[in-house]
């Protein structure tokens, strides 16, 4: 892979900055200057022992699998074997719907596709709170 093929963080920052003026009327979640949602407990300060921060540091480097799901479908094995170059598979998602972002198979956010230097990315538009996740499990 050459240096031209790799996308630097500066390229992504520039792309996000370009989107800022066109998103002036949208929610703060899509703004590049948006503040993080206050849905997770804070691990800093508040009389906690310094050892807790060291324990948190131990898990920060654990890799997780992030999946962005465009849609799903079920087909028979017969139809699966008939797929060829140029075949179209119909998905259950409608065009323009937000895509699901899953971490280790658990839905944590939804977002929209962005393209920067011919590479796909996803801009998060909605973060799923732990309460919402529990509500979806109970359905």
- Asked whether residue 39 is domain-assigned, the answer is no
- Asked whether residue 67 is domain-assigned, the answer is yes
Say what the pLDDT of residue 75 is. 92
Rounded distance, CA 88 to CA 121, Å? Answer: 23
Q: How many domains does the chain have?
A: 1
Is the distance from CB of 101 to CB of 67 less than 8 angstroms? yes
Closest CA to 134 of 111, 107, 110: 107
- Asked whether residue 51 is domain-assigned, the answer is no
- Asked whether residue 22 is domain-assigned, the answer is no
CATH number at residue 75: 2.30.330.10
- Asked whether residue 125 is domain-assigned, the answer is yes
- Asked whether residue 48 is domain-assigned, the answer is no
3-state DSSP assignment of residue 124: strand
> Which spans in 5-139 are helix H?
9-22, 50-59, 77-81, 130-137
Say what the pLDDT of residue 78 is. 94
Say what the pLDDT of residue 51 is. 65
Per-residue pLDDT for the chain (139 aa), expressed as one digit of tens each?
455 545 667 777 777 777 765 544 444 444 455 566 666 666 555 555 566 667 777 788 889 898 888 888 999 999 999 999 999 998 888 888 888 898 888 889 999 888 888 888 889 999 988 888 777 777 6
Range of the domain at 76: 62-137
- Asked whether residue 36 is domain-assigned, the answer is no
- Asked whether residue 18 is domain-assigned, the answer is no
């Amino acid at each position: 892979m050459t240096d031209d093929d790799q996308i630097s963080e500066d390229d992504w920052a520039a792309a996000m900055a370009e989107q800022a003026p066109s998103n002036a009327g949208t929610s703060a979640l899509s703004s590049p200057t948006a503040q993080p949602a206050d849905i997770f407990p804070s691990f800093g300060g508040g009389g906690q022992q310094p050892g807790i921060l060291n324990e948190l540091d131990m898990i920060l480097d654990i890799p997780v699998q992030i999946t962005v799901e465009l849609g799903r479908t079920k087909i028979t094995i017969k139809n699966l074997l008939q797929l060829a170059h140029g075949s179209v598979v119909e998905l259950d998602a409608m065009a323009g719907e937000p895509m699901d972002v899953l971490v280790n198979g658990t839905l944590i956010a939804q977002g929209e596709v962005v393209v920067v230097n011919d590479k796909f990315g996803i801009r998060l538009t909605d973060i799923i709170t732990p309460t919402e996740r529990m509500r979806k499990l109970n359905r």
